[in-house]
Amino acid sequence: MMPTLSFVEQLARGAGTILRDGYNSEHQIKYKGVIDLVTEIDHASEAYLLKEIQSLFPDSHVIAEESGETKGVGTGLWYVDPLDGTVNYAHHIPVFCVSIAYAFNGVVQLGAVYDPMRDEMYIAERGKGALLNGESIRASSTTELTKSLLVTGFPYDTWNTELDNFKNFEKLAKMTQGVRRLGSAALDACYVAAGRFDGFWELALRPWDIAAGGLIAEEAGARVTAVDGKPDYISTPQSILAAAPGIYEAMWKQLN
């Protein structure tokens, strides 16, 4: 049995409620790396999602950020980011979401990204367009970098890696209206889908960060690839370039 988009949406809303209800509490922060942290609410949201998925789709594989991979005998695969934007959340900055995608035979088919603080639900089913709170959304029609507003992100090993993205940031910040850093890759991709940002790139992500947002951006008419232009932006190494079609080439040139 294939899940429906409304089931994925329902999951995202349920997890989003956990994130919103826990937002004002004093968080128990644990460190996965020097600047990579996790709160008790990441775990609560993930536990809820895994329980719901496994009770209805016990055969599916699940790749979830905090608990890793749960193998299943079927060909369905879920990507679960229970809280995308954890550093914002831990600092009580209301920019975060839950991100859930479902892939079948290796292709992402369904995606939902929910921002509970703005009550914004982004959903997409492959081939059927993308919606924000039930309304169809489109990537922007911008054709010039100078008229574009972009967004990017930086990895948790940014202190120690050559892939720190700073040179790209500097270059594109000097050719555009600006480059934002919101701190939630899934929302970054959805904001491209909604035409708020004209383009998003990031160099080192994990599949759960971008499986849903990437599909939503594709279905909204954005061009979505790895930063080097290869079509697969979900397998290793997971970089993403999601842009309005009119500036995709120009962004690609600057990043390659």
Write out the residues near ligand IPD by the rule CB under 6 A.
Answer: 81, 84-86, 153-155, 183-185, 202, 205, 209
**Distance between CA 68 and CA 165 in Å, rounded?**
26
Nearest residue relative to ligand IPD (C-beta): 153
Do 12 and 35 meet the contact criterion of CB atoms below 8 Å apart?
no
**Distances from the Cα of 3 to the Cα of 27, 36, 103, 217, angstroms:** 33, 32, 10, 21
184 touches which of ligand IPD, Ca ion, none (CB within 5 to 8 A by kind)? ligand IPD
Q: Is 99 helix (H, G, I), strand (E, B) or coil?
A: strand
Report d(CA 172, CA 83) in Å as an integer.
Answer: 28
Beta carbons of 165 and 255 less than 8 angstroms apart: no
Q: Using alpha carbons, list the distances in angstroms from residue 161 to 155, 168, 180, 228.
A: 9, 14, 21, 18
The answer to whether 84 contacts Ca ion (rule: CB under 5 A) is yes
Q: Which residues contact 11 (CB under 8 A, 6 or more apart)?
A: 49, 52, 53, 100, 112
Query: Does 209 contact Ca ion by CB under 5 A?
Result: yes
Which 3 state secondary structure label does DSSP give 199? strand
Shortest Å distance, C-beta 2 to ligand IPD: 27
For 113, the token pair is: 């990204």
Q: Which C-beta is closer to ligand IPD: that of 140 or that of 165?
A: 165
Shortest spacing between CB 34 and Ca ion, in angstroms: 17
Q: Does 65 bind Ca ion (CB under 5 A)?
A: yes
AA identity, residue 246: G
CB of 73 to ligand IPD, least distance (A): 28
| Smallest gap from residue 238 Cβ to ligand IPD (A) | 10
Sole window of 21-29, 64-72, 212-220, 229-237 interacting with Ca ion (rule: CB under 5 A): 64-72
CB of 103 to ligand IPD, least distance (A): 19
Stretch that binds Ca ion, among 9-17, 43-51, 208-216, 231-239 (CB under 5 A): 208-216
Q: Name the binder of 108 from Ca ion, ligand IPD, none, CB < 5-8 A by kind.
A: none
- Give whichever of 86 and 109 is closer to ligand IPD, judged by the CB atom: 86
Q: Please report, as ranges, the residues that interact with Ca ion according to CB under 5 A.
A: 65, 81, 83-84, 209
